Structure 1
């Protein structure tokens, strides 16, 4: 019998369309291995909670195939070498990630294991098309989304790999740590109970979401995706973030539905393209994750003080601005936020309050269950003006105008903000069950006055931006 192969799992918590798993299966016995390494340890509270749930779902899926999930904690290279020594594994396969830290770790793992006589191979599958394969006519990378998207549409997106019927494992399995012992959800405290009511986790849930979207809502996606009180999107962002479904599967299912006469899919697939674009930029300009992407922004007069009263009011939905407060409370309750709301909340922080985008980016990184480093940093810099495609960079969203346009009946605000309502819905009341008790907030509180008025904030921001 051949020596077993290791499938090193990261952001690919799925069995369907998994290049690394397919390559490992070609060798026979497979050891699925997840390593809680420095990258996972550094995740914020909500992403760690979501990671635990994803691992639970993957464990169940593997068990149904006659396999197991091996869990180890430590540096990726050390753990992989330990498992190789314990099992005699001859190959290690994993799917590529494109953030700077992962690229450094992957390079070290690959070179070290190969020098020790193992086959160590990374694979594609995280995106529609890999960042190094999308080039302008001059051979450069793309800095603007629209021409990037035109290029993606001409690419031959690889067909998804099928789900394996069974996954054979070794006769003797290596020791696995216990997921509960890792206590990944501990920092969420009582908020974990609330999040669990609003999330659908795992590969099966992801496929169910996609099917329902294509059957019921895709035809109205173009107009419904910005209606913040409507269920007009696919709701797949966290499933994609943890690789419970692949972008390629979504792409090909969408193309199949389009060929069958479904309408409205180009705008939806375009959003999947934005995800590729964010990864493309992070790969080619890795400084985007923590520095201003555009030159000349380092002296912009943003405040970088983390816990001012204004920033705290923004974090806990107490700015006195209806759209912003509803958005921030949606984030507390569900671990997500409507994309239109993300733009408005980010604009109010970086422009009306003149707070550095990094403070908002770090807060979202802690609070989002669909946290994706590339998407998060690109989105914040796009709104702030320091990032790609941010033209005109001085655009300032008016939250009142936005909420009237995209929620004219006020349903979104009522869904998430309890104060002032005689019978607030559960969604609004759950906010008080999710936030720390020390805040001493309740549905009986009065709505606060605006911490910075829209006219005042706009004028101050325009004055700052006029000096760019």
Structure 2
């Protein structure tokens, strides 16, 4: 093996230059680095919005690599044969990548690592997507954590590695392999006319993510304890979009929060707890992969969930036409921006799983299709938490009343007015944008009458509790 043989650096959900252990190690080796992104079946299976957002992120990241004297090579196909072919073309002796933690990615990566090593190549995975690798956090009994609060206590005092700076230059090979065209991949095709609407709200790339973090720490974080629950306010970091594709690293966010806490900004530790909630979701996904596919609490397997995808009430929920304003506003926000405020997510999920007694997997798949900040661990964890079937979940008997939630967290109705056009004489642009984004086949118009509730808020809670009384929890 030549000491100067190129390293193939396989990028996935880590589209950044700074706080990137694998990239830092590759550049530090002084060997030529060939950045590669593979469109394999896991990419092809992404929902419409995550795949569209991935395309935007890849375009921006390719430009960042070019500024560093490098380029991003695009190839489509199964990971192992594509990587083998690239190694043969380039003389590369190593393939490095940042770890993923969902079951399908883990299975793929294990196969790739074993096969490449059998070929005599160096196959190496790095951390970077998380601050705390899931297998490094254990209870006193040597098991994994199933409840968030003790998990937070276990990691909150740990040293977190300082983020590596972005390299000024990335060593290039003598000759570049051929690359496929990003435009030919048409990653945004499934979005159809919604792509133009959602694109206006996306903040794409590492520079945008750093700006978001700086703006948050400069101002919003001081009131974050309260503002994070107010959907009408710009009261969150909004970094979920960038964290989902690794356009910013968790180490950067953590150290920024520590500095803010040292400066006496009261919301900084709450933000740190939100970062650790993300870590907890991955901790659970690693130790119990069923989190993403089945009830984490097995006693829920016998619960009589509604699993009818074509139920008219479920259709109304999807289309933001339940007649419950807070629920509908959340769905419409997602259709227009690709994101949904976290308080709205909880209310929207509770209404589906408790008022409509519909299986959380139906909701999880809907979010997977429509969120540009989709994350496999956080999405699964959030839905099971809301449904009551997951670890550290909201108690099954806690049923969010969407009307009282709106009065508490949107008291003057600003959030509802921003997203629901029906009934307003002069609807705002964002409310009207919903009708530009949704499929024409839905035949929706801002001039439509706003619907009556498909299930009344108080009646839905009663129905849910009656169903739970017949279930042994």
Q: TM-score, normalised by structure 1?
A: 0.99
CA contact (8 A) 1:324 1:399 kept: yes
Q: Aligned residue for 2:20?
A: 18
SS at match of 1:11: coil
After alignment, is 174-183 or 388-397 more displaced?
Answer: 388-397
Alignment root-mean-square deviation, CA: 0.9
2:355 matches 1:352 = yes
2:397 matches 1:402 = no
SS at match of 1:296: helix
2:334 matches 1:331 = yes
Q: Distance in 2 between matches of 1:265 and 1:157?
A: 16
Q: Aligned residue for 1:57?
A: 60
2:140 matches 1:131 = no
CA contact (8 A) 1:24 1:92 kept: no
CA contact (8 A) 1:131 1:280 kept: yes
Unaligned runs of 5+ in 1: none
2:189 matches 1:186 = yes
Q: Distance in 2 between matches of 1:263 and 1:452?
A: 40
SS at match of 2:302: coil
2:305 matches 1:302 = yes
2:125 matches 1:122 = yes
2:10 matches 1:8 = yes
CA contact (8 A) 2:244 2:374 kept: yes
Q: Distance in 1 between matches of 2:269 and 2:259?
A: 12
Deviation of 1:391 (Å): 4.2
Deviation of 1:26 (Å): 2.7
2:213 to 210, 225, 246: 210
Deviation of 1:263 (Å): 2.8
Matches within 5 A, 1:334-413: 334-413=337-416
CA contact (8 A) 1:6 1:92 kept: yes
Q: Distance in 1 between matches of 2:397 and 2:79?
A: 43
Q: Distance in 1 between matches of 2:28 and 2:226?
A: 45
Unaligned runs of 5+ in 2: none
2:271 to 254, 268, 284: 268
Q: Distance in 1 between matches of 2:438 and 2:117?
A: 48
Q: Distance in 1 between matches of 2:469 and 2:403?
A: 23
SS at match of 1:110: helix
Q: Aligned residue for 2:455?
A: 452
SS at match of 2:299: coil
- In structure 2, relative to structure 1, the CA distance for the partners of 1:333 and 1:391 (3 Å cut) is closer
SS at match of 1:420: coil
SS at match of 1:387: coil
CA contact (8 A) 2:225 2:266 kept: no
Q: TM-score, normalised by structure 2?
A: 0.98
SS at match of 1:297: helix
Q: Distance in 1 between matches of 2:420 and 2:105?
A: 39
Q: Aligned residue for 1:102?
A: 105
2:249 matches 1:246 = yes
CA contact (8 A) 2:97 2:125 kept: yes
Q: Distance in 2 between matches of 1:105 and 1:260?
A: 44
